[in-house]
Structure 1
Amino acid sequence: MIMMKRMFLLMFLMLQFSFLYAGIVVLNGLTHAYKVENGKVYKGKVEIENTGSKPQNVKLFLQDFTYHADGSINYTAIRTNNRTNGDWIKLNTNLITLKGKEKTEVFYEITVPNQSVDPGSYWSVIIVEPVEDIKPSDDKAGVNITSIVRYAIQVITDYATEKAKPDLKFESVKIEKEEGKQIAKIAIANNGNLYCKPTASIEIYNRKTGERIGSYTSIAMGLLPQTSKSFYIDISKVPADRYKAVIIATDEEENAFALNVELEVKND
């Protein structure tokens, strides 16, 4: 009897809630980067596909964008960020309609100001968002829930890069167990004025003998100026103990930033 009640409840919930998934995908990447000069115009495009079988409206618009190592992500109005390039970018349209299985391209232009700006990286994001038609459902009991997948395409413009540089700082180092693995979480901030794509590595040594236990590396991740991210390194192979360690952040130009720390790896 209890099992039958659960089955009826499950069927009731399935009938009550209708999930609509927009089949919109961006085909040409979520980071578009340009090296720019004063007064010049650069062209780009966003390639979009409707993988569903029904027509889909899609709107596109610009926002400012920042993120931090605690996992917070902020999308705000253009000009909120003092290093925005949102005023430089013009989309050729803000609304498109794609037939089922159709692909299209939305073009944009970046017009760099004639006057000099501070060296470094400027950025904003193009938001690609499916638009669902709102249909009343008075004839049906229950709630209609629409799940929308939004894409944020970073448009990064690097100006006078020879006069700019990243400045990586370590904000925190933690070791936490996740899904049975010991993970070193290294929060790194870019206090400089240039976008970079660093990796974090950790070299672990015996605290008493100085013997090197091992070296472990994270994946590379993009880091915009005045933002921070947590870089994850799996150190599950390191036995439980206290160690000395050197943490190194290295960008793609081989600029390195190091920090000496003591680590404690626990069994639980």
Structure 2
Amino acid sequence: MIKSILLFSVFLIQFTFLKAGIVVLNGLSHTYKVENGKIYKGKIAIENTGNLPQSVKLFLQDFSYQSDGSIQYSAPHTNLKTNADWIKMNTNMIVLKAKETTEVYYEIMVPDKIAEPGSYWSVIIVEPIEEITPNDNKQGVNITSVIRYAIQVITNLDTEKARPDLKFEGVKIEKENGRQLLKVAIANKGNLYCKPIVVIEMYDKKSGQKAGTFSSQAMGLLPQTSKSFYIDLEKTPPAKYKAVLIATDEDENSFALNVELNVKND
């Protein structure tokens, strides 16, 4: 896949470096439809792929992201729609033997009285603990890089009373690795998490003939966040086009924008 798309699709894996060992096996996004006063259960499956024992700590954080690629991790209660206080894990620390797999369980205890419908969320950080081994033969400080995983826990309350509200914030053509990419920045101004896909229908500006229909990957979009959706225009001949952009979520809510594009050779 295109480099920029791949980078964004794995944005929840923070600080990815050369040394690996811990892998989360059951996804980086856990979504629940919840009701006031109810309890929901989930789990995180973790594997130690290394050849040595590995200690791992788990803790909660709030987070958000924007279409420029920035991601903000912060202490619980930074986000007004946090559900960090609802989530209780059965442990905050585990030790995995070499090649061992285990599961950490958590409960989501939804408060009795949450008046505002919509999505509430936080992330569970899974972070290996690196042992610090002094080396008397070397001066200075040795820095060891680790992989941290952030698992979204999204709880959707009274979804029939909430909805996403998608806004187009920017449209431009970029060239990357010899390919023409349409970069579409979209913000969710509503109060409900959604997973939209962006489709563009293109028409030659001179002839009016349809040049094609192209689409992005579907990506999750939390309330009050934004992302850039990428559409490959590699097979589009150089010309000026009139186009319609349509963002549609999994519930068939659609949002459209008319644009003009100039696809060039270089």
TM-score > 0.5 by shorter chain:
yes
Rounded to whole Å, the distance in 1 between the matches of 2:81 and 2:168 is 22
TM-aligned CA deviation for residue 46 of structure 1: 0.6
Gaps of 5+ in 1: 1-18
In 2, are the aligned partners of 1:188 and 1:231 still within 8 Å (CA)?
Answer: yes
TM-aligned CA deviation for residue 235 of structure 1: 0.5
TM-aligned CA deviation for residue 239 of structure 1: 1.3
Rounded to whole Å, the distance in 1 between the matches of 2:190 and 2:80 is 14
Instruction: Provide the TM-score with structure 1 as the length reference.
Output: 0.91
Rounded to whole Å, the distance in 2 between the matches of 1:22 and 1:212 is 48
Instruction: Tell me the equivalent position of 2:95.
Output: 97
Instruction: Tell me the equivalent position of 2:154.
Output: 156
Rounded to whole Å, the distance in 2 between the matches of 1:238 and 1:106 is 48
Aligned partner of 1:212 among 207, 210, 217: 210
Instruction: Tell me the equivalent position of 2:240.
Output: 242
Aligned partner of 2:184 among 159, 183, 186: 186
In 2, are the aligned partners of 1:69 and 1:229 still within 8 Å (CA)?
Answer: yes
Q: How many residues are aligned here?
A: 250
Rounded to whole Å, the distance in 2 between the matches of 1:78 and 1:251 is 28
Instruction: Tell me the equivalent position of 2:168.
Output: 170
Instruction: Tell me the equivalent position of 1:57.
Output: 55
Correspondence 1:1-268 to 2 at 5 A: 21-140=19-138, 144-268=142-266
Task: Specify the SS of the correspondent of 1:182.
Answer: strand
In our comparison, the structure showing a higher alpha carbon Rg is 1
Deviations, residues 101-126 of structure 1 (Å, cap 9, x unaligned) = 11111111100000133101100000
Task: Specify the SS of the correspondent of 2:142.
Answer: strand
Task: Output the amino acid matched with 1:222.
Answer: G
Deviations, residues 118-142 of structure 1 (Å, cap 9, x unaligned) = 1011000000000001111122367
In 2, are the aligned partners of 1:20 and 1:145 still within 8 Å (CA)?
Answer: no
Instruction: Tell me the equivalent position of 2:12.
Output: none
Task: Specify the SS of the correspondent of 1:21.
Answer: coil
TM-aligned CA deviation for residue 143 of structure 1: 5.8
Instruction: Provide the TM-score with structure 2 as the length reference.
Output: 0.91
Gaps of 5+ in 2: 1-16
Rounded to whole Å, the distance in 2 between the matches of 1:177 and 1:188 is 20
Q: Once superposed, which parts of structure 1, at least 4 consecutive aligned residues long, lie more than 6 Å away? A: none
Rounded to whole Å, the distance in 2 between the matches of 1:82 and 1:142 is 43
TM-aligned CA deviation for residue 208 of structure 1: 2.3
TM-aligned CA deviation for residue 20 of structure 1: 7.4
* Aligned CA distance change for structure 1 residues 110 and 170 (closer, same or farther; 3 Å): same
In 2, are the aligned partners of 1:21 and 1:147 still within 8 Å (CA)?
Answer: yes
- Once structures 1 and 2 are overlaid, which stretch shifts more, 203-212 or 251-260? 203-212
